Amino acid sequence: MAVKGLGKPDQVYDGSKIRVGIIHARWNRVIIDALVKGAIERMASLGVEENNIIIETVPGSYELPWGTKRFVDRQAKLGKPLDVVIPIGVLIKGSTMHFEYISDSTTHALMNLQEKVDMPVIFGLLTCMTEEQALARAGIDEAHSMHNHGEDWGAAAVEMAVKFGK
């Protein structure tokens, strides 16, 4: 019996009235693009309108916290406030400690950002030891051994915005 992973939602949430921001890093772009696609497709299946999904990018995962804060502020200033934001990044361990420092600092910064922006900030950071792990979690490894985690992030975004929206 599969134990790990996201359980079924307690109900299907209607995303037709929410506006979602996706801000993604551009490192490991093939994996990023698959994750973003998965999130968009899942949100579309839950009724989120295409023109209510706003996409922004930053160079790397380390820029996600600051970029997300400014992205949220900018959308509010434009009179098109977001209801939820999904920062997406892919960190793959290299031969130095860079991975550890970015993973830890960015994770804490994104968690703390929720208070500052007063909205759900979905955790879309893959922190992988190998490229194969990252490919699998984006659903694009040869064996298709895992589902695309971007889909889970899209579903979480809709649920959190609908359930706990302002």
Ligand X SMILES: O=c1[nH]c(NC[C@H](O)[C@H](O)[C@H](O)CO)c([N+](=O)[O-])c(=O)[nH]1
Q: Give the shortest CB-31-to-ligand X separation in angstroms.
A: 10
Interface residues toward ligand X, by CB under 6 A: 25, 27-28, 59-63, 89-92, 94, 98-99, 102
Q: Which is nearer to ligand X, 44 or 55 (CB)?
A: 55
141 is written with which tokens? 């490894």
Would you call 149 a catalytic residue per the annotation? no
5 vs 94 by CB, closer to ligand X: 94
Phi/psi for 124 (5° steps) reads -110, 35
For residues 77 and 90, the answer to whether their CB atoms sit within 8 Å is no
Residue type, 122: I
The Cα 87–Cα 47 span in angstroms is 20
As measured in angstroms, the least distance from the Cβ of 27 to ligand X is 3
Distance in Å, CB of 104 to ligand X, minimum:
13
Rounded to the nearest 5 percent, the helix, strand and coil shares of the chain are: 50, 15, 35
Which tokens in the block code for residue 16? 């037709």
We find the least distance from the C-beta atom of residue 43 to ligand X, in angstroms, to be: 22
Comparison of 15 and 89: residue with beta carbon closer to ligand X:
89
CB atoms under 10 Å from CB of 50, counted, come to 8
Kindly compute the dihedral angle of the four CA atoms of residues 129, 147, 42, 160, in this order, to the nearest 10 degrees.
-60
Please pick, among 98, 108, 144, 147, the residue that the annotation labels catalytic: 98
Residue of this chain nearest to ligand X (CB atom): 60
Q: Which residue's CB is nearer to ligand X, number 32 or number 155?
A: 32
Supply the residues annotated as catalytic: 98
